[in-house]
Chains A and B, each alone.
Chain A
Amino acid sequence: MTRAFAVSLIIPDNAAFTAYETLARLGIPAARVVRSDIWLFDVAPEAAAELSASVAQIETLYNPNKHRLVERTSDAPEPGEVWVASRDEAPETQIAGRRLPGVTAIRRRTAWRLLDEDGQDVSQSDRDRAVATFLCNPAFQVAIT
């Protein structure tokens, strides 16, 4: 089974702000850009219950002083969200030099969400334009919605 975790910053996200500025220069009307790291773990069912606690102990992935860690209910993007992944990604078996009990593969995505001034997702056409022009380089990345 695959379990998904989202790690986002609770301090200002400079990368998201830089993306916002570049998207503004491209004329994409996002008032706010939200970025998360998505970690997907293929884990044996008998080890799944312990996974969340194990992930929370990896300080290079999650530091409670600056990150929010959320276990997702699905291993797919949420509505309005786009995940960017490397096209030729090779799953890892370790994270930060550690193996996690029952985990056989680890994959990473970057999740993006573009919001308007009302906190609603921008239109799909604007999101698609942001992905096609800037957030994803199709030469080696793929966008997942």
Chain B
Amino acid sequence: MPQVAVVVFPGTNSEDETLRALHAVGLEAELVHWSAPESLARFDAYVLPGGFAYEDRIRAGAVAAYDAVMDPVIEGAETGKLVLGICNGAQILAEAGLVPGTAGMRRPTAAFAPNASGRFQSVHVYLKLAVAPERVPILAGIEPGAVIPGWASHGDGRLAAPNDELERIVADGHLAFIYADRDGNPVPAPNGAALDCAGLVNRAGNVLAIMPHPERDAWTYQHVDGSRDAARGDTAAMLAPSGGIRFFEHFAHAVRGQVPA
């Protein structure tokens, strides 16, 4: 059974709901704190959850990107292990140069920069797949054009990069997800992100960074699409995994595909 580490930095705040989503899709996962980098090598995949690592000091994700606990994550990514970053985890992966990964480790070429509004925003969104899933092992099994619900809840989620890098992100298939409506029609990014980007993937397709939180819309009682109201009075239906949990089902499929049973 593959083992997944949920990497916790000082200031991470979404580790429990991320762990719960991973357990719900049948993965063996556990929290690993930044103070125990030596314990990370044995894991088969890594998830960096949301929050405010190191209080977003200097820049969102910047300090964590240089933390010693990222050394085994980077080494694992370079050997093909799957790495998923959600929100602050995505910011860390960008600062660490893992996504889009066009210049090497810890040489960032893009960033999830402060929102165009200048404010923290929390809005319900849908992520639409924008890359051919067969090129991206971490998205293996996801259907083309799939739409995943989640919450964009961040102050620094605007993809920013020089124009030539943005062209490279598109041309080389690093744009993993864009913002869409529930029917899959593209919509402007709520944070002003270039390319309306909601997620980036590296060239090898084993490192994925997404800004919205699918783990916060992964149970019926969390949904805003009316299904929560329809489930009132039915405890089992209310507590059922659905919506954003599909994203983790695909992740689990990919993890199991990478690691022989």
**Chains A and B bind each other:** yes
Main secondary structure of the interface of B (DSSP, over half): loop
Does A137 count as interface, using CB distance less than 8 angstroms? yes
B66→A15 contact, CB < 8 A? no
Beta-carbon nearest neighbor of A19 in chain B:
B58
Report B184 CB to chain A, min CB distance, Å. Answer: 29
A133 to B109, CA, bound (A): 12
Instruction: Identify B111's interface contact among A14, A22, A26, A137, CB under 8 A.
Output: A137
**Known A-B contacts A14-B57, A15-B58, A18-B57; A137 and B63 likewise in contact (beta carbons under 8 Å):** no
A interface residues, how many (CB within 8 angstroms): 19
Contact with B along A132-145 (1 / 0, CB 8 A): 01110111110000
* A26, B67: Cα distance in complex, Å: 10
Interface size bracket, B side: 20 to 34
Chain A residues at the B interface, C-beta cutoff of 8 Å: 14-15, 18-19, 22, 25-26, 86-88, 92, 133-135, 137-141
CB-based contact B106/A137 at 8 Å: no
**Contact indicator A139/B160 (Cβ below 8 Å):** yes
| Residue in chain B with minimal CB distance to A17 | B57
Q: Given A134-B66, A140-B161, A86 and B57 touching (CB < 8 A)? A: no
B54 is an interface residue with CB less than 8 A from chain A: yes
- For the complex, give the distance between the alpha carbons of A68 and B62 in Å: 26
User: Shortest CB–CB separation between residue A118 and chain B, in angstroms?
Assistant: 25
Distance (Å) between the CB of B162 and the closest chain A CB?
7
What's the least CB distance linking B45 to chain A, in Å?
26
